[in-house]
Amino acid sequence: MKELAFIFVLAAAFAATATASAIAFDDIQHGVEIYNSGVENAPGVVKTLLGDEKVQVEIARADGTVLLAGLQTVNAVVVKTVEGRIDDPTIVVVAAEDAVVGVLQSDDPAAAFQEAAAQGEISVRGTTFTARLKVSAALASTPALRFFAGLLGK
């Protein structure tokens, strides 16, 4: 069974404080702090797969607006967050806000993610050949899942 995509959980971790209201860019920035504080303990697969990437996050909110945020990683550490679009993203995460909240609040984030992905409420795609390979590997990474679930307190 495929596991929760580490990239989506990264995006969800960034939004972890927003489960009671609309997800905002400040929530993304707070999530970056949470992620960066734990990245030194990340398994090698996380550091390899998320080493140097530009991630575009697009979350469709319930009110009809879309939260756009860009993240740039260097050696798996988020070094830059951008409100809006990031230039030349290598990975794009698109999700419905209620799907993000559902994953965050679930007792089984992996199953919640899989269900939301199957329903088209969440997608994670690489924009380059290498990024597509990384995303595929991440979808099957149990160590990555455990690391990110730990960041979410699961």
* Class of the CATH domain delimited by 6-151: alpha beta
Between CA 17 and CA 46 the distance in angstroms is: 23
**How much is the pLDDT for 36?**
84
**How much is the pLDDT for 4?**
37
Domain boundaries, the chain: 6-151
**How much is the pLDDT for 12?**
54
Residue pair 45/98 in contact (Cβ under 8 Å)? The answer is: no
**How much is the pLDDT for 54?**
92
Angle between helical axes of 142-151 and 25-38 (0-180°, round to 10): 120
**How much is the pLDDT for 119?**
92
Residue pair 127/42 in contact (Cβ under 8 Å)? The answer is: no
**How much is the pLDDT for 72?**
92
Tens digits of pLDDT across the chain (154 residues): 223 344 444 555 555 545 456 778 888 888 788 778 877 877 776 677 677 889 899 999 988 999 999 999 898 888 999 999 999 999 898 989 888 888 778 887 767 777 887 899 988 888 999 888 877 776 666 565 556 555 555 5
